Structure 1
């Protein structure tokens, strides 16, 4: 059996449904001679007669009747494929983005309305977790994170820097005249974080004034005057916290990470471009704080 051409199957279905070359050719918007060649080529490739030819029209042979449902199944699959491709090109659907809560809350969400106005049928699901999402397990389609991928089927690029500083409230600054700060620390399950390790070095074995498990709680504790915390500049911009000093040694690179098999998806690409441009536009706010030292 020779290789079959899908376009010839479309000709077969049209002729089976219309019954004449004239009507079938018209439905396909091709010439009668072209249609006739397609039918003959299909019969030749299948090595089977598909139609009985009469002056009044064409009737399916028994072989043709047995193949009709299979040809219709091929048509259904092709239409589904076409519909899916059209959906992709129109940027319809959902894209799951994994990122840190501070990036989601202070960077992505404030700009999300503008993105949704540009792509009203494309929706973003945001997954925030202190632990890194595993794109290989399909936890997300792409990620904006501060950990450089070292394995897995992913593509990534560095898009910016998240800067840190040592922050406190005005009330705390006034009541403390020395440099022996009351440090806020992360809980024991978060000892791997660069900020937690830096605070641990400063404590040098002393107990922290308070431990927490979220950036938001550390910001609130700082605002309450409880102590000082090492915070991303991004999360303090609309607060009354004071930056005592920059901590460039804690600064973290921001990476845009995408599952490699999704890099050509127009939906994924639209969201990836949105996130990348967002980081680049706000790079100064992300990286630099207004510190007094």
Structure 2
């Protein structure tokens, strides 16, 4: 299997080649400009969205992006953002959604930690008390039953760093854990979260918003790690 970083570089070169194949005059004519605000989970922002922005800027140098991350749900309905990548499907509002794929989670630890710890003595890293409504937090709570986490973090990146510091086991995105050479434990325990692209329906009439949306759709469609075999909802 191609390493994740090599996969990103290969995709970027492929997309850049497509851009260069476009007629330069037509490319200038079709350039968009202005600000597009995107909310995206931090794990996808750092490892996927940010590396892919270069090709977007090459095609549209006057385009500006405001990228926000965090586990809290930025409100598309109140127009806090133009586009949002979310793991929770909106159930109301005048929004257009498209399923981009699915994000797989499992339990991981470092080789050093697992080598020096017995399974019954594993320490677990989870979410803070104020974040127990998150799907990942609920999944971990059901698994642990009456056992408590030794460390609670309010971001996924902090949990990843805590695992790398041999502080315990955490439930992490599989593609990130594999990228960091972490080892999976409890192989029967796993969670899959759908990934949705969400937009206020009316903003898609904006050329700059639609351009960024199409770029994100193309990005995820190229990444087979997110292809769960489930069809897409049409973005109109």
Normalised TM-score (structure 1):
0.64
Alignment deviations for residues 141-163 of structure 1 (CA, whole Å, 9 cap, x no partner): 11111110111111111111011
Who is 1:116 aligned against?
57
Q: Distance in 1 between matches of 2:172 and 2:102?
A: 14
CA 249–219 in structure 1, closer or farther in 2 if over 3 Å, else same: closer
* More helix per residue: 1
1:184 aligned onto 2:110: no
**Separation (CA, whole Å) in 2 of partners of 1:151 and 1:180:** 44
- 2:41–2:69 contact (8 Å) kept in structure 1: yes
* 1:232-265 deviation digits (Å, cap 9, x = unpaired): 1233243132122557752110111111111222
Q: Distance in 1 between matches of 2:100 and 2:217?
A: 6
**CA deviation profile, 1:92-143 (whole Å, cap 9, x unmatched):** 1110011111111111001111211121111211111211111121110111
Q: Is residue 195 from structure 1 mapped to residue 136 from structure 2 by the alignment? A: yes
1:89 is displaced (CA, Å) by 5.7
> Can you give the 5+ residue segments of structure 2 that lack an aligned partner in the other structure?
1-28, 229-236
Q: Using a 3 Å threshold, how does the CA distance of structure 1 residues 206 and 248 change in structure 2: closer, same or farther?
A: closer
- Mapped to 2, the partners of 1:239 and 1:151 lie a distance apart of 38
Alignment match, 1:279: 220
Larger radius of gyration: 1
Change (3 A) 1:252 1:177: same
Paired residues in the alignment total: 201
SS in 2 for 1:221: helix
| 192 and 156 in structure 1: CA distance in 2 versus 1, 3 angstrom threshold | same
Q: What does the per-residue CA deviation read over 1:58-113, in whole Å, with 9 as the maximum and x for residues that have no partner?
A: xxxxxxxxxxxxxxxxxxxxxxxxxxxxxx96411110011111111111001111
* Residue 224 (str. 1) matches residue 165 (str. 2): yes
What is the aligned-residue RMSD (CA, Å)?
2.1
TM-score, normalised on structure 2? 0.79
Distance in 1, matches of 2:206 and 2:187, equals 40
Unaligned runs of 5+ in 1: 1-87, 288-293
Q: Which has the higher contact order (CA 8 A, sep 6+)?
A: 2
